[in-house]
Structure 1
Amino acid sequence: MTMDMTFLGTGSAYPSPHRGASALVLRAEGECWLFDCGEGTQTQLMRSQLRAGRITKVFISHLHGDHVFGLPGLLCTVSLNTNPSSVQDQPCVEIYGPRGLRHFLRVTLGLTGSQLLFPYAVHELEPTLDQSPPEGQLSHEMTTESGPLHPQEQPGRSICLDASSDCYLLFEDKKFVVRAFRLFHRVPSFGFSVQEQDRPGRLKTELLKELGLKPGPLYGRLKAGQSVTLDNGRVVLPSEVLEDPIPGRKVCILGDCSSVLGEGPLKACNRADILVHEATLGDEHHEKAVEHGHSTPKMAAAVAQACCARRLVLYHFSQRYKPCALQKEGDDDDVVELQRQAEDALDGSGIEVTLAEDFFTLPIPLRRPQ
């Protein structure tokens, strides 16, 4: 039931000796998911405690290079480290991102003659025209894939905006519901909401003993939500012997943006345990940030407050902001000032603010039943 996220790159525009390009990994229930994959992500993975070969899903927020240039290389490196004898057992790597990502990967892998030892599928999100200025809209000719699938490519889905929720439902299973939502940037950008499903509460073991039930298969049936009939004919309902359900955690990760679009983001991120939001420049550079499709700490704080998030994590800093460990007295651009600006904007809200740094791992504790 552990869940955490590790930031592999917290810088914007390009990787530097101080900050990697955008990438973070969410680990939960044995799953390992990568969000964005800027240039150098595979090197950052090697420097971390994470294993690239465990990544089963990739989510790309938008097609700017500092969020996607590392993906082809990462897939090839994972393949090189795959045991050829276990090829038949390799799961399909599911990749989600904007329309055009499928063509980008197919052409890149094809032109470089890259063969993978595992299958992959690209599921594309269809953007809307209001997600970027007209010059940021990519033509269908540029983004539509052509030619045969890559030898290891499996057909992917095209996912359209659901009008009722104003979100994109990426998938839902027994563990998670994952949605995407629209952001405004210089090119169409998306955010992602990972909602953990609620878990059954703990069994009231003392009550079960009083009823004459011993630990064993019947406990498992009750935990799974099935009724049990005792020898005396009494039917024991799960609701009688289970404590309140354990609420699922919610993690929301926003790509580059100067604003959210529609009601979808606020719905999808409502009461998020963690809201990861870019803060490329300080509040004093507000006009410049918006001009380039980015946000400041105050703008990020406004989104966190509108969503009633529990914690706001800032990342995607301009390379002008050095990590705290490298900050020197008298430096003009202090990254800690970005945290102060967000905290000032959230004063009295109870929302915590955290600065992400490369290789920072944030545990996400279980929620307590209401």
Structure 2
Amino acid sequence: MSMDLTFLGTGSAYPSPHRGASALVLRTEGDCWLFDCGEGTQTQLMKSQLKASRITKVFITHLHGDHLFGLPGLLCTVSLNITPSPTQPPSCVDIYGPQGLRHFLRVALSLSGSQLLFPYAVHELEPTADQCPPESQLDAMLESSISESLHPQERPGRTIPLDVEGDCYTLLEDERFVVRAFRLFHRLPSFGYSVQERERPGRLNTQLLQDLGVKPGPVYGRLKNGESVTLENGQVVTPLEVLEEAIPGRKVCILGDCSALVGEGPLRVCRGADILVHEATLGDGHRERAVEHGHSTPSMAAAVARACRARKLVLYHFSQRYKPLSMRTEGEEDDDVLELKRQAEEALEGTSVEVTVADDFLTIPIPIKRPH
């Protein structure tokens, strides 16, 4: 199964002529999962090789505008480009994010008179009080005023509480993936997401099967699916006998804006991540200012990568003061992203963690792992 990660926007605060606002897409076999949707994301999608119509799930890390303002417009644009089928109704788009996201979409779509040609459901994560300063808690008066009337295309979504024992939120479990969220500290409640691919059976030892007199056919498929089979001579063949070592699943972890992790869940859930995407809004020389605004520096991101033993750290969400690689001129070092990369690499010295700085439209392939 192919898997890759494409960055549509890597800037902080607002979209600029050189960087889009936060948005990235995890693509698996054609399906696209969108993480954050800052203003202008639909334009970035049109410039990329990705198709907005392939988006089946959206994950919002927090409710600041540079991660959210593009979502209503994107949903409307996708709807405008759908050709309705009388025989196959459109599938529901699942949207995950912090408490308040459901109300935001209802108001934005309703007040603008927007009708969609597909259903959507918003699944909200219940934050805890230690995820942001007290003055940034969702106002109780706002909560009480939230309408329970669904938008015409809205389907009831889940409200997901923190699993105290695991210190995380389990969002999705199917035959391919387990998706969890975890808590981060920011000026508003922020979350990170972990996409864990399930391990797959190893290759069949076809030579051994042929030696046993088993011909290629349905029996091979049953063994591959973990089912024991009985041969014509009465011999029972188990998957353990004919399957090579299982292929470990890949893990991608994407963190929203943060100046700290909350609880033990983040490191537990992100342990061994193949790719850890972490913000680095300001350089290490501006650490105090970064923390004051709920953000991180390269060395802070590196500390998280080191603690969870990630294979690759990808930095993004850069202040507009840092020039993209495409704008770099010879001799300039202090105000471009290569300096941020150097700071993270210095903090990770002595480890095998690879550091990458994301540019808009960078695509990172995530190869299938080899058995241990």
Same-fold status (TM-score > 0.5)? yes
Equivalences for residues 61-140 of structure 1 within 5 A: 61-85=61-85, 88-140=88-140
Equivalent residue number for residue 239 of structure 2: 238
Pairwise CA distance, 1:85: 3.0
Pairwise CA distance, 1:30: 3.5
Matches of 2:86 and 2:6, distance apart in 1: 28
Matches of 2:86 and 2:95, distance apart in 1: 21
Q: Within the alignment, does 1:261 sit opposite 2:259 as a pair?
A: no
Matches of 1:86 and 1:364, distance apart in 2: 37
Pairwise CA distance, 1:140: 3.5
Residues 90-124 of structure 1 deviation map (CA, whole Å, 9 limit, x = unaligned): 11000000000000000000000000000000000
Matches of 2:177 and 2:76, distance apart in 1: 28
Matches of 1:244 and 1:84, distance apart in 2: 45
3-state SS in 1 of match to 2:85: helix
Matches of 1:300 and 1:267, distance apart in 2: 16
Matches of 1:184 and 1:212, distance apart in 2: 60
Pairwise CA distance, 1:136: 1.4
Equivalent residue number for residue 338 of structure 2: 336
How many equivalent residue pairs? 370
Equivalent residue number for residue 206 of structure 2: 205
Point out the more displaced range, 247-256 or 88-97: 88-97
Pairwise CA distance, 1:89: 2.2
Residues 135-187 of structure 1 deviation map (CA, whole Å, 9 limit, x = unaligned): 21112432463041000000000000001100000010000000000000000
Pairwise CA distance, 1:328: 2.2
Residues 308-337 of structure 1 deviation map (CA, whole Å, 9 limit, x = unaligned): 000000000001111111012454412100
Q: Within the alignment, does 1:37 sit opposite 2:48 as a pair?
A: no
3-state SS in 2 of match to 1:362: strand
Matches of 2:147 and 2:296, distance apart in 1: 36
Tell me, yes or no, if the aligned pair for 1:100 and 1:142 is still in contact at 8 Å. Answer: no
Equivalent residue number for residue 195 of structure 2: 194
Pairwise CA distance, 1:31: 2.5
Residues 2-39 of structure 1 deviation map (CA, whole Å, 9 limit, x = unaligned): 11000000000000000000000001134210000000
Unaligned residue ranges in structure 1 (runs of 5+): none
Residues 248-285 of structure 1 deviation map (CA, whole Å, 9 limit, x = unaligned): 00000000000001100000000000000000000000
Partner amino acid for 1:158? T
Partner amino acid for 2:42? Q
Equivalences for residues 272-291 of structure 1 within 5 A: 272-291=273-292
Unaligned residue ranges in structure 2 (runs of 5+): none
TM-score (norm 2): 0.98
Pairwise CA distance, 1:367: 1.1
Equivalent residue number for residue 182 of structure 1: 183
3-state SS in 2 of match to 1:85: coil
The alignment yields a C-alpha RMSD, in angstroms, of 1.1
Matches of 1:151 and 1:143, distance apart in 2: 21
Partner amino acid for 1:174? E
Matches of 1:86 and 1:139, distance apart in 2: 44
Partner amino acid for 1:315? Y
TM-score (norm 1): 0.98
Tell me, yes or no, if the aligned pair for 1:185 and 1:293 is still in contact at 8 Å. Answer: yes
Matches of 1:312 and 1:88, distance apart in 2: 41
Partner amino acid for 1:13? A
Equivalent residue number for residue 366 of structure 1: 368
Partner amino acid for 2:340? L
Partner amino acid for 2:328? Q
